[in-house]
Amino acid sequence: MNDEAPVVFKTLQKSSQELCVFRVDVNVDSGKSISSWEAAYDPETEKFLIKSPDELFPASKDSLISLLETAEELGCGHAMMVLERSHPNFKEQIRAFGYLGFSMLPSDQVADDCLLMRYDFD
């Protein structure tokens, strides 16, 4: 955990027969949420998709690690990060997630307004 900004994880899990949805809020100081990660897991296909939050903060890394650990515990071989091309910090997001071990997938595999990055657990 980051000593400069204590992080409180609040995970809400909604389950149905086909999909599990996760949300991790990044809270700093007063407990006010400054960033939220959202993820979805399909147990049938073992796909774990993560949507990048609007803003990345140093404390956001711990939340991402929590989601990646969850995906690995669920038996996924990889996790996919969904980035919106219209995001004002799109290029910085690609750089940041690349630094953390994500790799870009060919753009023909997703909609034109999104980019997928893959994190392998192997």
For the chain, the structural domain boundaries read 11-120
Integer Cα distance of 95 and 29 in angstroms: 28
Q: How confident is the model at residue 18 (pLDDT cuts 50, 70, 90)?
A: low
What own/partner pairs with CB < 8 Å and gap ≥ 24 does 20-26 have?
22/67, 22/70, 24/63, 24/66, 24/67, 25/63, 26/53, 26/57, 26/59, 26/60, 26/62, 26/63
Residue 108 has pLDDT above 90, yes or no: no
CATH: 3.40.50.300, 1.10.3720.10, 3.40.630.60, 3.40.50.720. Which one for 11-120? 3.40.630.60
pTM of the complete model: 0.75
For 38-69, what is each residue's pLDDT tens digit?
A: 898 888 888 899 998 888 877 778 889 889 99
Please state the length of the chain.
Answer: 122
Question: What is the three-class DSSP state of 64?
Answer: helix
